[in-house]
Amino acid sequence: MGLLQGASELFPVSSLGHAVLVPSLLHWSFKQSDPSFVPFLVLLHLGTATALLVIYRDQWVAIIRGFFTAAFRGSMQNDNERLAMLLLVGTIPAAVLGVFLESRIKMLFASPYEAAGFLIVNGVLMLVFEALRRRAEGRVAAQAQSRTEQEEHFAQAERISFRAAAIVGACQALAFLPGISRSGVTIGGGLLAGLRHEEAARFSFLLATPVILGAGIVEVPQLFSKSVPIGEYLAAAVLAGVAAYASARFLLHYFRSGRLDPYGWYCIAAGVVSLALLRFSL
Task: Write out the residues near another protein by the rule CB under 8 A.
Answer: 70-72, 74-75, 85, 88, 92, 95-96, 99-103, 214, 218
Choose between 3 and 71: whose C-beta lies nearer to another protein.
71
Q: How far is the CB of 219 from another protein (least distance, A)?
A: 8
In angstroms, give the least distance from the CB of 256 to another protein. 34
Taking the complex as a whole, how short is the minimal distance between the CB of residue 187 and another protein, in angstroms?
Answer: 24
Cβ closest to another protein, residue 95 vs residue 238: 95
Closest CB 10 distance from another protein, rounded Å: 24
Minimum CB–partner distance for residue 61 and another protein (Å): 19
DSSP string, the chain: -HHHHHHHHHTTT-HHHHHHHHHHHHT-S--TTSTTHHHHHHHHHHHHHHHHHHHTHHHHHHHHHHHHHHHHHTS--SHHHHHHHHHHHHHHHHHHHHHHHHHHHHTTTT-HHHHHHHHHHHHHHHHHHHHHHHHHHHHH-TT--SHHHHHTTSB-GGGS-HHHHHHHHHHHGGGGSTTS-HHHHHHHHHHHTTB-HHHHHHHHHHHHHHHHHHHHHHHHHHHHTSS--HHHHHHHHHHHHHHHHHHHHHHHHHTTT--SHHHHHHHHHHHHHHHHHHHTT-
Comparison of 28 and 68: residue with beta carbon closer to another protein = 68
Which lies closer to another protein via its Cβ, residue 132 or residue 218? 218
Nearer to another protein, 28 or 162 (CB): 162
